[in-house]
Amino acid sequence: MKQNLPSENSSYRYFSRDLSWLSFNYRVLLEADDDSLPIYERINFVSIFTSNLEEFYKVRVAEHRAVAAGLKKVERGERSESIRLLKEITQETNRQLAERTRIFEEGILPTLRMNHIIFYQDPEEMEEVHKEYLHHYFTEEIFPYLLPVPIKKKIIRSFLRDNRLYMAVRLKRKSKYEYFFIKLPYSKVPRFIELPPLGENSYIAYMEDVIQMYIGDMFPGYEPESCHCFKISRDADIFVDNIATNELLAQLKQKVRCRKNGAISRFLYDWHTPQDFLDYLTEAFRIKSNELVKGDRHLNLEDLHHLPNPNPHLQTEEERPQPITLPWLEGKNAMFHHVGGKDLLLFYPYHSFGHFIHFLYEAVHDPACTDIMITQYRVAENSAVINTLIAAAQNGKRVTVFVELKARFDEENNLATAQMMEAAGIHIIYSIPGLKVHAKVALILCQNKRGGRARSYAYISTGNFNEKTARLYADIGLFTCNSVIVEDLKKLFDMLRQRGEQPVTFKRLLVAKFNLIPELKKLIENERRLARNGKSGHIILKMNALQDPLLIDELYKASEDGVQIDLIVRGICCLIPGESFSANIRVTRIVDSFLEHARVWFFANNGANKLFIGSPDWMKRNLYRRIEVVTPVLNKELKQQLIDMLHIQLTDNCKACRVDNRLQNIFKSRPEEASIRSQYYFYDYLLQKEKQKKK
């Protein structure tokens, strides 16, 4: 859907943020339709698509429902806009779910069968020997954990938990219907049950199909008439008031506990459910008609990432590039020595995240190091980063960690790790009221023997300090001892200590809420000026999401001035390419083995290229309601590496799509050209760089 700019005098338009996101998620689903991928990798993309959609309903759709119902104060016209959007979201979601069914039933299941894995989708398909086996399995393993709850309209109103799979059962007794629901016992019994092999074939069944087959055993004297699964999604967003830190901690704990009690945003049901049965359920559970979403016979397909592989010889996923370990960064004080003489860029997951851990370890053991400061947004469980910071505190270093408690779905983990660090003697700065800190930065301060400032080190990244996601997300980190950047980072941490109360001037870093937007406008305006003067203006922007209308307008104006603009945007992109005002703008989307997460910005500057990396996307929340940090990349060799990476991604003709002015994902594949799969091509590029160093 295209939306007009609020100003009636403007001809500029935008894609809907939510429909653009659905376009991205559909691109994820298309990976499940790629028969060149190993079958279990395709199945995993079905799981990712479904999990993404679940979160979308918990957050975005839940917000629109609250607005549409008049539960949130909004500006004039926003309520009708949300009502209209909800209809379009439902329509597009239903289309995509139908496509998921096609891909699964016509592509994935036959491929499993070709590999001698029979994944039963209907009890009627089952061999008699398996029915006998499952009857015994039901009696011994499943039945003891089933607790039927009666459904009685206007008499009993049972609470349904978020994201749990339930089975609704309709029984007949003395020509009258009675209704029950059962929560599927996932914690006790596997969702996917492996059955005895027959010949060279292996077999798998769904737990809910087994329950359905033998539901009569639970209700002697009743005639089972119909049973179907359903689930609900609840509003999972947490709104924290602008309050003091001690009150914030208590409020956050309370709201995280209440998350599973949020308003219903979706009632997903088996589309085979008879209409009168569905009507009874919706009335009993007080489900509104606009909360209904049709689903497949089997719901919660995000569970497919747990699907067992009974064939040990079957390749489950592609052989992905393994992180490159750089031996010249592994010796004692090797990181400090190298960065002391020359800036360093590491590209994860192509390079090992272990080098960053080594960087912290050097600070732990360097007698000149006095302070370590770092931001925490999302960290891994049992994090090596956290353990190293604790070791630093125990070794007498002053360690300061800013912990963003409001990182969605990571609130509990962040709170637990913060309390663990605090107990170890680390100084914790908690969330700032009304502001989220999304920056991914670290600072190591050193002093000389006279007590003055010695050479110190800064790290600015596009990704979190998380060893787990560093193997899955494509991110970039810059190590530098540039004194101006170091001083800027120190100002940032001082500002965080002061809870953002004092104005700060940054000389080299671009920081959201301070100088980021004015500097971006200047950079774009410079390319416009060059183009107007007959020179070649060129901008390449790589990010996860592009939404802010003010900066989109700047890009539209640059396009009208003749600036060539290439956008590499993985997810939401509200900018519409291919219109009269965007004729010089192209949008590329890449979905592959690793999640493209880096933010890299290139401005040609008449040959004197300017390049930046950092944490923010061009979303309203990033630019106006968060602390984000962007650094220039100053070293000529490192700038060229970033330019090469961008050009490789723009020439990808395997996993890259062009997003057109109707939000379609159009693959760039050209049979006559040599295949360029950018993630694997760039990995080889980095390997070649290492080989050249050894010569």
Task: Report d(CA 14, CA 448) in Å as an integer.
Answer: 55
> Which is nearest to 14 in space by CA: 585, 656, 477?
585
Task: Report d(CA 171, CA 479) in Å as an integer.
Answer: 66
CB atoms within 10 A of CB 93: 20
Q: Collapsing DSSP states into helix, strand and coil, what is residue 383?
A: coil
Q: Is 636 exposed, middle or buried (0-12, 13-18, 19+ CB in 10 A)?
A: exposed
Task: Report d(CA 93, CA 167) in Å as an integer.
Answer: 23
Task: Report d(CA 221, CA 101) in Å as an integer.
Answer: 37
The residue to which tokens 């010949």 are assigned: 199
Contact 121, 298 (CB under 8 A): yes
Catalytic (active-site) positions: 438
β-strand pairing of 656-659 with 585-590: antiparallel
> Which is nearest to 264 in space by CA: 409, 149, 412, 163?
163
Task: Report d(CA 413, CA 637) in Å as an integer.
Answer: 39
Amino acid at 123: P
Sign of dihedral through CA atoms 414, 416, 419, 420?
negative
Task: Report d(CA 615, CA 511) in Å as an integer.
Answer: 10
> Which is nearest to 142 in space by CA: 203, 198, 211?
211
Task: Report d(CA 540, CA 646) in Å as an integer.
Answer: 8
- The DSSP symbol for 325 reads P
Contact 460, 375 (CB under 8 A): no
β-strand partners of 13: 4
Task: Report d(CA 310, CA 194) in Å as an integer.
Answer: 8
Task: Report d(CA 625, CA 547) in Å as an integer.
Answer: 14
